[in-house]
Structure 1
Amino acid sequence: MLRNVAVPVVNTVSPFEFAVACEVFGMDRSDQGVPNFDFAVCSERPGEPVPTAMGFSVATEHGFERLAEADLIVVPATKPREAPIPPALVRELRAADERGAWIMSLCSGAFTLAKAGLLDGRRATTHWMNTNELAEEFPAVDVVLDVLFVEDGNIITSAGTAAGIDATLHLVRKELGATVASAIARRMVVPPQRDGGQRQYVEAPLPAVEADSLQPVLEWATENLAEDLSVETLARRAMMSERTFARRFRAETGATPHAWVTSQRVLLARRLLEDTDASVEQVAGRTGLGTAAILRHHFTRQVGTTPQAYRRTFRCTG
């Protein structure tokens, strides 16, 4: 049963992710039927200030030895390149993993777990801005992008920032039930469970088109996405046979003409859903995807959520 929770803090700890752990596990909500957790914040040298990423410091009452009692260790985000991991923290994290305790990282806290060797051979995630860095620095980790969190055995890693709320509520729901998770979520004024993954939050500006001999054709295509952009049309504009064009296209872009055009259309759809009041059917027409059903199919495959849900999240109204 999940009762004892500890949060280790190190240099450059992120206040938001640290506060998520405190809010979910450190608040007394017994008046709403939520069991109290034996909650503690730990550092290498109790009582000494630990600098946060925002310039102020926090001090703790407990050392890392307190982690040995925990049913759950929550590791907040840090600045990965500026946050050395004390050997004592590595020892406690490894010992917790060996005894089967829950270990959770929030956002870039995944780097702490990876540096401790806990993510080797496991699926894990982190903020979408750091996934490539995590994969490159720790090739033994199976880094997953399109998720809000990943549970692999006794280890849970969350994506960026608010996804830490999703991960913590997921664990509460798993260990203590949906009623407790919903009570905590209501107090935090957040949904008990969000749909989709973090792929919808990845910044996706319409990219600069770069190619060699096909540059003019690609630029024309991005400016005319509502037109017929079949291989036949594009090859004719490039003054090539369809076979030669398709071969050259893949060589220069790394994708088939159909896949490339579809991705450009979905990128434009994202912008239209964010910045205009056009209906989903109108967006489908203006992007060349034809119908709302076709738009929904390709949009969901590429973005991980439906056009309607994406608009509710990202529509610019101001």
Structure 2
Amino acid sequence: MTTITDLYPSRGTAETLTERCDPVVWRPPVGRAAPGPLSRTEIASYERDGFVSTEDLVTPAEVDAFRAEMHRLIDDPVLREDERTVIEPDSREVRSIFEIHKLSRVFADLVRDERLAGRARQILGSDVYVHQSRVNVKPGFRGSGFYWHSDFETWHAEDGLPRMRALSVSIALTDNRDTNGSLMIMPGSHRTFVGCAGATPADNYKTSLRMQEAGTPGDQALAEMAVRHGIRLFTGRAGSATWFDSNCMHGSGSNITPFPRSNLFIVFNSVENTPAEPFAAPGRRPGFIAARDFTPLPAGDNRPV
């Protein structure tokens, strides 16, 4: 059995800070970013800040179609009782639905779209597969938030992702306002890994998807990072998108406004970064949260040659 070195220890007795040892943009040996839809300026911004936003990534007609498909999934009584559907902790409202690219042909086509997969290949420097997909629903008045965290900390500790060679894209299906619980990121935080304190409970995903506790940084680390990096709030009309590195410190507040906020999240991982066994958890999470099918997404017709 091959032993994989744990480059980013976490879930120990004390919180630790580790400087990132992985690239942010994975370049071929010649040193320039792989070809793709992102401009050099956008690549530089992503590398510096850990994220980049794109206005009107998808058209208004596509937004309408995606929103209708989201509501079809939400309103399916059978799917509502499925483990892939997460319900808000204090209500019967749907919080998230996972593995949407397996549940819907519409979203299956979307993850293969070069506007998405092409950018992922360009940043990660390889073919990619979908590690996770979901829709997050924040209904008006009752949509709860997502506490500060690094996705990579969880994907490393609980899924076994060895390196920071994964990214997420959040696509707005409703207008993301500065008042309805929009995404917040600390620019530059992707260069420091926060190893969180505390052991991972068995089947932690059953509670963490509703209210995350294990894998969240302490107040002092968050305060120091916020002072050092600041906090950026992402707003934008429906159809806009934000790409962010797997190790960005991010979160979002609750939505107490009348205006719903719904977003599609797709996580792309490099086929050269497939998960091993969890580094700090009793066992693997289910495949609908952390895929174990590493088949590369096929290249679209407009993929750069």
Structure in which a larger fraction of residues adopt strand: 2
Higher RCO, Cα 8 Å, sep 6+? 2
What range is the shorter-chain TM-score in?
Answer: under 0.3
In the superposition, the TM-score normalised over structure 1's length comes to 0.23
Structure showing the higher helix proportion among its residues: 1
